[in-house]
Structure 1
Amino acid sequence: MELEPEEDEKPGSPAQMLAKRAKKARKQYGGTGLALRALGTKLGFPHSYLARVESGEQLPSLALAETMDDFYETDGLFTDLLALTLAVSAETPKWGHKVLEAEKRAGRIQTFNSSVVPGLLQTEAYTTALYTESMPGKDAENITLQVAKRAHRRAVLDSAVPPLYWAIMDEAALRRPVGGAAVMADQIRHILKMTETKSNVQVQVLPFSRGVHPLLGGSLSLLTLRDGATFAYVESFASGVSVESPADVLELATLLDIARSKALDSGESVSLFREYLKEYEDAE
């Protein structure tokens, strides 16, 4: 399917081009076009999701981009635009580039976060609310890019050979209502589903009742690659650093072990998740 540009169409960012082309493809389909609900039925995606993609409020997932290319016979247009959109986004801090690459090659990822839900466990709505509140001055398109990048990072847990993902989160991440009660309820349901359906995902909660621990106020990730090499990544506020010295990695691993020893076991963590889930559901 050839998508002819309109006479008044002006060049924009890759994200804007993707949204415009998605809308144009639907309106030109079959010569008469399709309604969003009809398109949603044909593609197997909610029409509300497609509407957000066409308006530029949300980027399509890779699965949707590939489905659109197949349906419209656009020879990879939408997957290419999606890849370009993510590639030109330069918001990932330099200190985070290594960890993003290592996640794809890791055999084991251990992480602790003291204030929010760990990134690879976040739902899209939670990530959106988190970025909207924590990135003052950023426009909607910029936030959309960050949410999409986080979503694509999560794909590592669904890969053919996924890493063991062992997350410890402070109870503060459950108590803080990012995005409101409905978003939090959905976020907790997502974590429970991940732990119930994926044997490679383990999640523990470090409750307030266990007192202080050595990782208050920041986050720590230990990534072990499939060749056995391990490095640490420490992040706090608006800075972060990769740590590769064996002695320093060992020291940080010890701190993570101490935090893990204070955390609830898997069954106890599930019980606490369900307590918070009921609380947020009652507040909806």
Structure 2
Amino acid sequence: MAMELEPEGDAMPASPAGMLAARARARRGLSLRALAEKLGYPHTYLSRVERGEQLPSEALAEALDVFYDAEGLFTELLVVAVAAEVPVYGRKVLEEEKRAARIQTFNSSVVPGLLQTESYASALFTESMPGKDAEQVALQVATRSHRRAVLDSATPPLYWAIMDEAALRRPVGGAAVMAEQIRHILGVIEGNSAVRVQVLPLSRGVHPLMGGSLSLLTLRDGVTFAYVESFASGTSVDTPARVLELTTRMDIARSKALDSGDSVSLLHKRLKEYEDDIES
């Protein structure tokens, strides 16, 4: 049986971790399916990792380290790959998300990053990153997907997301992608008690966070810092006076948002509208 190693056609080159995984597997004389059975992962997932279409999860990186006795090399390559795809101004958030006890976030125009599906993120990056090729978009999507794991950890932070209704009305990727995205949000709300989502309706008028996004991360020692992002720039804020000002803005926006139950009802309403668009 031929080893499934070389990319076919116009497939993108593998990431360092994926390339190492493919070479290590080839040296063992293993097929993707054989390795998948030994590790307990779908062979299609391992294939995407080896081809650079998706970053490995932390759990897979650790499993590869153990299986190949790599002394943590796969895990180290994963950390480097994720950091490399995050702008310098956003790396503090990436570093602290895993240590946060509470994450509060407001997004005025798109679904919050940790709630995005791969299809939504792919459509979003494709349209909003002019001049970027398919490989760069795929790596951005993989990085976003990797970050979502923070909500699935054994001790997830309290994640409190407020999104403007505009994010639900803007059909990123079309009706099918939006329907999948809203179903995902509803599933996360239902299945993870650490996640709270509120929608700020357009009918509530202006609020103090229009035109950008704000994240407030509270670490387990009680320290809070803020991260403000707009377009292709962002700023981390940790001075107490400025953090207090931004926290007040978040509180005002939250006070204008629907409560959890009404937000879920609005999500179902928007979902039905996209499903009707698909059927028509």
Q: Find the aligned partners of 2:40 and 2:274 in 1 and give their Cα distance.
A: 30
3-state secondary structure, aligned to 1:214: coil
2:267 maps to which residue?
A: 273
Q: Find the aligned partners of 1:85 and 1:201 in 2 and give their Cα distance.
A: 26
* Superposition deviation, residue 191 in structure 1: 0.9
1:145 aligns with 2:139: yes
1:57 aligns with 2:50: no
Q: Find the aligned partners of 1:279 and 1:19 in 2 and give their Cα distance.
A: 43
1:177 aligns with 2:171: yes
TM (normalized to structure 2)?
0.82
Q: Find the aligned partners of 1:261 and 1:150 in 2 and give their Cα distance.
A: 29
1:202 maps to which residue?
A: 196
CA separation of 1:127 and 1:107: change in aligned 2, threshold 3 A: same
Cα-to-partner distance string for 1:118-139 (whole Å, 9 max, x where unaligned): 1111112222222222222223
**Higher mean Cα deviation, 49-58 or 202-211?**
49-58
* Superposition deviation, residue 75 in structure 1: 2.6
Q: Find the aligned partners of 2:182 and 2:40 in 1 and give their Cα distance.
A: 26
How high is the sequence identity, in percent, across the aligned residues?
68
3-state secondary structure, aligned to 1:186: helix
* Superposition deviation, residue 282 in structure 1: 2.7
3-state secondary structure, aligned to 1:56: coil
- Provide structure 1 residue ranges, at least 5 long, that are not aligned to the other structure: 7-11
3-state secondary structure, aligned to 1:258: helix
2:73 maps to which residue?
A: 80
1:25 maps to which residue?
A: 25
CA separation of 1:26 and 1:110: change in aligned 2, threshold 3 A: same
Cα-to-partner distance string for 1:42-88 (whole Å, 9 max, x where unaligned): 76555544443344333333344455666xx42349x7346425515
CA separation of 1:157 and 1:264: change in aligned 2, threshold 3 A: same
C-alpha RMSD of matched pairs (Å): 3.1
* Superposition deviation, residue 107 in structure 1: 1.1
Match of residue 182, structure 2, among 188, 195, 215: 188
**Higher mean Cα deviation, 40-49 or 145-154?**
40-49
| Aligned partners of 1:57 and 1:140 also within 8 Å | no
CA separation of 1:282 and 1:110: change in aligned 2, threshold 3 A: same
Match of residue 153, structure 2, among 134, 156, 159: 159
3-state secondary structure, aligned to 1:215: coil
Corresponding pairs, count:
269
2:9 maps to which residue?
A: none
CA separation of 1:182 and 1:83: change in aligned 2, threshold 3 A: farther
Amino acid across the alignment from 1:59: L
Match of residue 104, structure 1, among 98, 102, 105: 98
Q: Find the aligned partners of 2:152 and 2:254 in 1 and give their Cα distance.
A: 25
Q: Find the aligned partners of 1:164 and 1:127 in 2 and give their Cα distance.
A: 23
Q: Find the aligned partners of 1:183 and 1:124 in 2 and give their Cα distance.
A: 10
* Superposition deviation, residue 232 in structure 1: 1.2
Q: Find the aligned partners of 2:73 and 2:139 in 1 and give their Cα distance.
A: 15
2:112 maps to which residue?
A: 118
| Aligned partners of 1:116 and 1:173 also within 8 Å | yes
Amino acid across the alignment from 1:238: A
Amino acid across the alignment from 1:120: L
| Aligned partners of 1:66 and 1:76 also within 8 Å | no
| Aligned partners of 1:233 and 1:241 also within 8 Å | yes
Q: Find the aligned partners of 1:86 and 1:137 in 2 and give their Cα distance.
A: 26
Amino acid across the alignment from 1:80: L
1:282 aligns with 2:258: no
